[in-house]
């Protein structure tokens, strides 16, 4: 019978797995379109691979699902080439030289291949090995990582490339798909603690950008709580201490994980390991999946688990949804953070001119509003230099400064995206690396060109559209936050005001 290797695996003789600690201030980028490809970001490569461009992403081969369905015999080979070239050591070297200390890695649920129903779901295979190697490069460069569940089972948001399948048939908000997401969570939590390549991972994000109307996301509040419980139960199973819960280190010496789970469940008085619960079901399903992944990635290091600290759980902030959403702060067990996404380029945030943009960004109060709901520490997990108007070089330099100053007031920020295909329409304002080359962004991300960039906009006449709105609004926000330019040409990313 295949079983996990003993506590002191071969890895424990060569390196000690470090504790997953977040930087004191995050200066980061997203590794978008690497392991979850969004064709708008690399249109030439996408077409060369065999993808298509169309007015609506559901009408052609404009998502990973559609590509895998169209090319079942060659999809894995073609994506292997993409994974090895879109993000590699040269990119890591540039990010390190730019003093980036954190990356957010968007992932689809299908990176855990056992979760895919191959009869009805079509996705490329082989991404886990590339994730492992990419994390190793980041680890060696001293760059921390957030694993972002960006595309969830069943699709969490309609008609989006980032969901992996561009469709209006949203099925994530069901017991079955919540369950698959929890299995994914347990697998990724375990890997983050057990495999040396994953040691730079300090946080896992539950779900990227769910539907904003809370009336359309039934059960999502319960999923938030079960997500955190699954992370913490997995950690307790591995012998890692969790704040507020008894240690099970005395019952975690068995190298057979199923027997270990039974022992921990029997010793538990907290209810976390309650029989037939969604959490125990997720852990039970995750164990054989981890055995398969162990064969692919190599030995998993149990020896260092008791030296590890709890991962940080991460959610989109409460401001993301309206119509009385669940507050993710109520799900917290141990360290937890919150993510706010803000794009100005699709309307609804400020009038389409330089003055309105600057007055809005210089008066934002997202952090204060989130803090009032317990959603702190908060980082801005997605933002860009995109605008609704033709921006001058001078404005983009000021626009970068003003956003960085605003987003650095709490836990920090992560730019979308680390790069965009060269000569793309969007590279100038969506690529961090091109922004550095053009001088919009500073090579030291903690610095700005002009720390007084907001001074001309601080007079009493300044207003901001978000100053009086609150979460839980009974009316939907009027801006369609991921509408944007023609969907085959550009991002369809939601905004916040």
Residue 470: name the closest of 378, 373, 381 by CA.
373
DSSP assignment letter at 379? E
Place of tokens 């509003």: 369
Spatial contact of 305 and 194, defined as CB atoms under 8 Å apart: yes
- Mean pLDDT throughout 154-183? 98
Spatial contact of 6 and 50, defined as CB atoms under 8 Å apart: no
- Distance, in Å, from the CA atom of 249 to the CA atom of 308, rounded to the nearest integer, reads 13
**Is 45 strand, coil or helix?**
helix
- Distance, in Å, from the CA atom of 360 to the CA atom of 352, rounded to the nearest integer, reads 11
Per domain, the residue ranges of the chain are 10-337
Q: Write the DSSP string, 163-221.
A: GSS--S----SSHHHHHHHHHHHHHHHHHHHH-GGGTTEEEEES-SS--SBGGGSTTHH
pLDDT at 15 over 90: no
pLDDT at 491 over 60: no
pLDDT of residue 21: 83
- Distance, in Å, from the CA atom of 368 to the CA atom of 57, rounded to the nearest integer, reads 37
Q: Could you tell me the pLDDT band of residue 422, with boundaries at 50, 70 and 90?
A: very high
First vs last C-alpha separation in the chain = 55
Tokens of 329: 């702060």
Spatial contact of 205 and 151, defined as CB atoms under 8 Å apart: no
Spatial contact of 310 and 247, defined as CB atoms under 8 Å apart: no
Q: Among positive and negative, which fits the CA dihedral 259, 261, 263, 265?
A: negative
pLDDT of residue 144: 98
- Distance, in Å, from the CA atom of 433 to the CA atom of 93, rounded to the nearest integer, reads 12
Q: Would you give the distance in Å from CA 482 to the centre of its chain? A: 17
- Mean pLDDT throughout 94-111? 98
pLDDT of residue 253: 55
pLDDT at 20 over 80: no
Q: H/E element holding 150?
A: strand 144-151
pLDDT by residue (tens digit) across 228-278? Answer: 999 999 999 998 989 888 777 655 555 678 888 888 888 888 888 987 799
Residue 313: name the closest of 148, 106, 100, 139 by CA.
148
pLDDT at 469 over 60: no
Average pLDDT value for the chain: 88
- Distance, in Å, from the CA atom of 107 to the CA atom of 149, rounded to the nearest integer, reads 5
The interaxial angle of helices 257-267 and 220-237, nearest 10 deg, is 110
pLDDT of residue 206: 98
pLDDT of residue 301: 74
In a 13 Å sphere around the CA of 263, the CA atoms on its Cβ side amount to 18
Spatial contact of 307 and 456, defined as CB atoms under 8 Å apart: no
Q: H/E element holding 293?
A: helix 278-297
- Distance, in Å, from the CA atom of 167 to the CA atom of 157, rounded to the nearest integer, reads 9
**Is 34 strand, coil or helix?**
coil
Spatial contact of 60 and 54, defined as CB atoms under 8 Å apart: yes
pTM score over 0.85: yes
Ramachandran quadrant class, 97 (left: phi over 0; alpha: psi -120 to 50; beta: rest):
alpha
pLDDT of residue 196: 93
pLDDT at 89 over 90: yes
pLDDT of residue 248: 72
pLDDT at 484 over 50: no
Spatial contact of 47 and 41, defined as CB atoms under 8 Å apart: no
Cβ neighbours for 100, distance < 8 A, ≥ 6 positions apart: 27, 28, 29, 143, 445
Cβ neighbours for 366, distance < 8 A, ≥ 6 positions apart: 317, 319, 340, 342, 378, 466, 496
Phi and psi, residue 334, nearest 5°? 80, -165
pLDDT of residue 11: 32
Cβ neighbours for 277, distance < 8 A, ≥ 6 positions apart: none
Spatial contact of 139 and 105, defined as CB atoms under 8 Å apart: no
Q: Could you tell me the pLDDT band of residue 497, with boundaries at 50, 70 and 90?
A: very low
Q: Which three-class secondary structure string do you get for 243-270?
A: CCCCCCHHHCCCCCHHHHHHHHHHHCCC
pLDDT of residue 470: 33
What is the CATH number assigned to the segment(s) 10-337?
Answer: 3.20.20
- Mean pLDDT throughout 350-372? 97
Q: Percentage of residues in the chain with pLDDT exceeding 90?
A: 77
pLDDT by residue (tens digit) across 284-322? Answer: 999 999 999 999 998 777 666 777 899 999 999 999 999
């Amino acid at each position: 019978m295949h079983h996990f290797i003993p506590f002191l695996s071969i890895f424990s003789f060569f390196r000690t797995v470090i504790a997953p600690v977040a930087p004191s201030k995050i200066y980061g980028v997203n590794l978008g379109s690497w392991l979850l490809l969004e064709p708008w970001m690399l249109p030439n490569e996408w077409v060369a691979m065999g993808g298509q461009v169309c007015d609506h992403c559901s009408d052609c081969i404009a998502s990973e699902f559609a590509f895998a369905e169209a090319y079942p015999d060659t999809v894995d080979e073609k994506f292997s080439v993409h994974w090895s070239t879109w993000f590699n050591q040269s990119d890591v070297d540039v990010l390190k030289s730019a003093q980036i200390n954190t990356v957010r890695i968007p992932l689809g649920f299908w990176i855990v291949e056992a979760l895919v129903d191959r009869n009805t779901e079509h996705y490329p295979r082989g991404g886990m090995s590339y994730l492992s190697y990419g994390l190793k490069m980041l680890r060696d460069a001293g760059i921390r990582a957030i694993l972002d569940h960006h595309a969830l089972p069943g699709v969490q948001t309609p008609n989006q490339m980032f969901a992996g399948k561009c469709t209006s048939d949203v099925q994530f908000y069901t017991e079955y798909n919540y369950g698959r997401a929890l299995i994914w969570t347990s697998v990724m939590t375990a890997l983050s603690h057990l495999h040396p390549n994953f040691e730079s991972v300090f946080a896992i994000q539950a779900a990227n950008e769910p539907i904003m109307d809370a009336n359309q996301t039934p059960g999502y509040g319960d999923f938030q709580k079960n997500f955190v419980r699954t992370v913490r139960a997995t950690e307790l199973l591995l012998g890692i201490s969790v704040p507020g819960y008894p240690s099970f280190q005395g019952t975690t010496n068995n190298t057979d994980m199923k027997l270990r789970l039974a022992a921990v469940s029997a010793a538990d008085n907290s209810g976390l390991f309650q029989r037939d619960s969604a959490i125990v079901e997720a852990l039970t399903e995750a164990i054989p999946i981890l055995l398969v992944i162990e064969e692919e990635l190599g030995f998993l290091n149990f020896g260092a688990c008791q030296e590890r600290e709890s991962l940080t759980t991460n959610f989109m902030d409460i401001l993301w949804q309206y119509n009385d959403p669940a507050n993710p702060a109520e799900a917290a067990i141990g360290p937890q953070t919150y993510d706010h996404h803000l794009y100005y380029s699709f309307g609804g945030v400020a009038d389409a001119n330089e003055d309105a943009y600057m007055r809005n960004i210089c008066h934002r109060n997202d952090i204060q509003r989130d803090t009032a709901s317990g959603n702190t520490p908060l980082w801005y997990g997605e933002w860009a230099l995109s605008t609704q108007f033709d921006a001058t070089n001078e404005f983009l330099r000021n626009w970068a400064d003003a956003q960085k100053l605003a987003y650095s007031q709490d836990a920090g920020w992560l730019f979308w995206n680390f790069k965009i295909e060269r000569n793309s329409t969007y590279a100038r304002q969506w690529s961090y690396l091109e922004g550095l080359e053009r001088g919009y962004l500073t090579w030291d991300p903690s610095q700005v060109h002009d720390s007084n960039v907001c001074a001309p906009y601080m007079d009493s006449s300044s207003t901001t559209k978000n100053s009086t709105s609150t979460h839980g609004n009974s009316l939907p926000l009027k801006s369609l936050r991921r509408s944007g330019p023609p969907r085959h040409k550009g991002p369809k990313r939601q905004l916040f005001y």
